[in-house]
Structure 1
Amino acid sequence: MAERLVVIGGDAAGMSAASQARDRRGPDDLRIVAFEKGGHASYSACGIPYLVGGEVTDVKDLITRRPEVFRDELAIDLRLDSEVVEIDLGRRAVSVRDHQGGGPYWEPFDQLVVATGAVPSRPDLPGADAEGVYGVQTLDDGIALLRALEEKPRRAVVIGAGYIGLEMAEALVRRGLKVSLIDAAEQPMSTLDPDMGALVADALRGLGVEVFLGERIEGFAESGGLVTAALTENRTLPADLVVLGLGTRPNSALAEASGIPVGETSGIRTDRRMRTPVEGVWAAGDCVETFHLVSQRPVAIALGTHANKQGRAAGINIGGGYATFPGVIGTAVSKICEYEVARTGLTTAGAAEAGFETAEEIVESTTRAGYYPGARQIKIKMIADRRTGRLLGAQIVGQEGAAKRIDALAVAIWHEMTVEDMTGLDLSYAPPFAPVWDPVLIAARKAAKRVDQLNRED
């Protein structure tokens, strides 16, 4: 009799795990059933702001694999609109509610993959449940927001200045709305240092977004169940719709209720092979707790890159192979207005919290040779260990051609290079792509000099 694998979650981690397991074990050996509570599976959640903004014009363009591909070509029984509401570890079964009207029913498993993703943080404030207040986490959320835009709203308020909040603010401006952005922090993007975040705030203002920093949201006004305004401690901002961009948290409640252990970040605990402490139960994606290779601490970071890699590792192992997910360093990139924003490793505050004393340098340069048409500004910040010179973190804010330089810095951090090591990197050069001294090399050289100076002062 074929072994039964049940996968909870039909997006990046879950379907990567299912596909990899199928690649190694045929349907006569392993039956795979995947449950997705929404109406879509295997899609690019990162593309939702561009769908809302109009750069992507068809929802289908965000779907990586159609459901029939999983069912017909991979023999994976993918069931959409099917929500797992309970995991019974003793019974080795999950309870499923069919949103089309069927169930609930029990589905048995021998092996289980929990890939329930993350849930948006939703404030417990007056009016937060009013119609017109949207979280944007799933493709269904994005479609719901698109439908709201068909009603021709004029004013929008975005709560939260992280990646999602900023991308959604830009998307709504592109749709012709008057947009206000609220965040309790003094600068946007807590994953950047304040001096780099200030550049992002300036870019938003240049786009026409009203930016209110250092203000807390206190609630929402509504009329007839519809949101009419966002209320801060200082002002009332009229709104036809509100988008919540307050970040996410691991969607681990289902697993925790069943007895699957979660960690201090509320993410599900796994080992490097994505096994939970429960025999035969695996977890992957935004619902898990992972390990930061620089701070050496547990973290929960919701990114599709991690989810795909973790799902792949789980699937390979279920299929009888061997794969691990070693951890993360927090590399991320985004486009905010005309600016490209990227970061990797630790911020200054994160490095201090992890016990490092730091040396920091910021350099300004151009993305191409200064004389070459189309050269754009770039600012790079490097954060190094004051004693050893090891690169701990880096941030980039710049215009076209800036952000992908973060990959070279991520590789350097991954391999624990010092900033002095980096000064000799053999990076490419041609006027259309970089100055003769690439900004990464300039920043490394100045950071190395700063480390040397601080050590001489001791």
Structure 2
Amino acid sequence: MSERLVVIGGDATGMAAASQARRLKGPDELEIIAFERGRHTSYSACGIPYWVGGDVAGPEDLVARTPEEHRARDIDLRTGTEVTELDVEGRRVRARELESGGEYWTSYDKLVIATGAAPLRPDLPGIDAPGVHGVQTLDDGERLLATLTRARGKRAVVVGAGYIGVEMAEALIRRGYDVTVVNHAPQPMTTLDADMGALVDEAMRGMGITMVNGTAVTALGTGPDGHVNAVRTDEAEYPADVVVLGLGVRPQTDLARAAGLPLGPSGGLLTDLAMRVRGHEEIYAGGDCVEVLDLLAGRTRHIALGTHANKHGQVIGSNIGGGYATFPGVVGTAVSKVCELEIGRTGLRERDAAAAGYQCVSVTIESTSRAGYYPDAAPMTVKMIAERVTGRLLGTQIVGREGAGKRVDIAAVALTAGMTVEQMTALDLGYAPPFSPVWDPVLVAARKAVKAVRAAG
């Protein structure tokens, strides 16, 4: 008799898990039913700002596998269907068809919760007005593009200056909008230390973006037609023909919470190394609805990234399909860009290191992306944080032009391997003048960090 796998969520984690499980077990051994409340599956939400900005032609380019393709692989994928209740004791889920309103229960032997994350949407006057957009799904992207097409003016306000905020600011600049970013934090990109965030702020201002930092939005104004026309703070009002919210996300775990499943400090599901929900052998979870182990800080964190989501799906599908796989944790690597500026970070910020109990030193260096004499060599700033006594690398942040962002991967590998900054100075990195100075900027920072560790005793 075959087992039944039920998957809640049809994007990266859910369908990667379903597809991997199907590769390992045929339909005679494993029946797979997947529920997705939207129309699209297996798409790259990370690519939406580049679709809006014109780098990507259309939403179909962001879809890795359509619902029809999944169904052709013997996965019973039910789009337009939302799971509304989880009965852990009875091993069943209640689903509702959004078009007809019909509801029914479906039993499971194994369950995958891949409900993703929900964009933060503060309860403010005017927040639900036409012209105010979050950017989380392909449908969100389509609605935003429709607003941009109909807008009478070219004034855009982005609320928030994290990854989505800065990426959407670029997309709107490229579409010819005058862009204002209203940011509650003192600097953009709070995933960086303040000194590195200041470099991002300076560069964004240089691109013609109006930066309003350290200010909270109090309301969104609307015109006679009800459409948004302004963003208000305690100090000022900023005219807007369109508003994009980039305030981050929270784990979408209302179902799990109601079912009594274990959640972490950020509200994400807690899992073991095999991505099983703690205390529930038959339930797995992954993607933006879980917390992951920070290998440096030694605690769980909510980090919403497609890289993690796809890996979680592969691990889950392998384990359900009879194989064995684990997801040990992360070091916190991320890259982004705003126009020509590239931003990379991995590991701990200074305040993270202090909170985790580390005594650390930090250094900052200025270098270039290529040999200084080679055409188009671009400036790059690298900040490196190391443990004071051992010299173990704790974190790296990079802000610069072409070639800056992906250099953070060098530090990500070093962090994962537990290397010291002194060991890093001997790394055999590729060199040629079009790609790097003789001493790569990351290694220059490592050399300076070695001196700081020695000076600290």
**Deviations 1:228-283, CA, capped at 9 Å, x for gaps:** 21111110011122111111111111111112221122000110100012231110
- The letter of the residue matching 2:388 is R
- Distance in 1 between the 2:337 and 2:250 partners? 23
- Counterpart-to-counterpart distance in 1, 2:110 and 2:405: 41
Counterpart secondary structure, 1:87 = strand
2:323 to 316, 321, 324: 321
> Structure 2: 5+ residue runs without aligned partners?
none
Report how far residue 58 of structure 1 moved.
1.5
Q: Quote the residue 2:171 is aligned against.
A: 171
Give 1:82-161 correspondences, 5 Å limit.
82-152=81-151, 153-161=153-161
Match of 2:375 in 1: 373
CA contact (8 A) 1:382 1:447 kept: yes
Q: Deviations over 1:28-75 (max 9, x none)?
A: 110111111111000011100000111111211000012211111x21
Q: CA-atom RMSD, angstroms? A: 1.0
Bigger shift: residues 381-390 or 254-263: 254-263
Please state if 1:435 is matched with 2:434. no
Q: CA deviation at 1:336?
A: 1.1
Tell me if 1:215 matches 2:220: no
Alignment TM-score, normalising by the size of structure 2: 0.98
Separation of aligned partners in 2, 1:364 and 1:78:
52
Number of matched residues?
A: 454
* Aligned equivalents of 2:312, 2:131: Cα separation in 1: 35
1:225 offset after TM fit, Å? 3.0
Question: Which residue of structure 2 lines up, in the alignment, with residue 272 of structure 1?
Answer: 273
Separation of aligned partners in 2, 1:219 and 1:292: 36
> Amino acid of the residue matched to residue 144 of structure 2?
L
Letter of the 1:233 counterpart: D
Q: Distance in 2 between matches of 1:148 and 1:179?
A: 15
Alpha-carbon distance in 1 for matches of 2:219, 2:389 = 47
Q: Match of 2:35?
A: 35
Partner of 1:188: 188
Match of 1:361 in 2: 363
User: Equivalent residue for 1:81?
Assistant: 80
The one-letter amino acid paired with 1:209 is: I
Equivalent residue number for residue 4 of structure 2: 4
Deviations 1:378-398 (A, max 9, x none): 111000111111100000001
CA contact (8 A) 2:96 2:104 kept: yes
Matched residue of 2:289: which SS?
coil
What is the TM-score when the length of structure 1 is the normalising length? 0.97
Q: Matches of 1:149 and 1:33 in 2, distance apart?
A: 37
Offset at 1:100?
A: 2.4
State the Cα distance separating 1:90 from its structure 2 match.
Answer: 2.5
Please say if 1:53 is aligned against 2:53. yes
| Contact 1:203 1:338 (8 Å CA) reproduced | no
Q: CA deviation at 1:157?
A: 0.8
Q: Give 1:251's aligned amino acid.
A: Q
Aligned to 2:257: 256
Percent pairwise identity: 59
CA contact (8 A) 1:221 1:228 kept: yes
Q: What's the secondary structure of 1:221's corresponding residue? A: strand
Aligned mate of 1:419, from 418, 421, 430: 421
Aligned-pair CA distance for 1:26: 0.4
Letter in 2 for 1:256: R
Q: Alpha-carbon deviation of 1:102?
A: 4.7
For the residue of structure 1 that corresponds to 2:398, the secondary structure is strand
Contact kept, 8 Å, 1:216 with 1:233, in 2: the verdict is: yes
Inter-partner Cα distance in structure 2 for 1:35 and 1:163: 29
What does the per-residue CA deviation read over 1:186-218, in whole Å, with 9 as the maximum and x for residues that have no partner?
Answer: 110010011111111112112211110011111
Partner AA of 1:206 in structure 2: G
Quote the Cα distance in structure 2 between the aligned partners of 1:58 and 1:408: 33
Unaligned runs of 5+ in 1: none
The aligned counterpart of 2:206 is 206
SS state at 2:456 partner = helix
Give distance in 1, aligned partners of 2:371 and 2:194: 29
Looking at structure 1, the residues matched to 410 and 391 of structure 2 have their Cα atoms a distance apart, in angstroms, of: 17
Contact 2:169 2:338 in 1 (8 A): no
Q: Distance between the aligned counterparts of 1:215 and 1:255, measured in 2? A: 34
- Deviations along 1:108-137, whole A, 9 cap, x unmatched? 211110000011111111221222211111
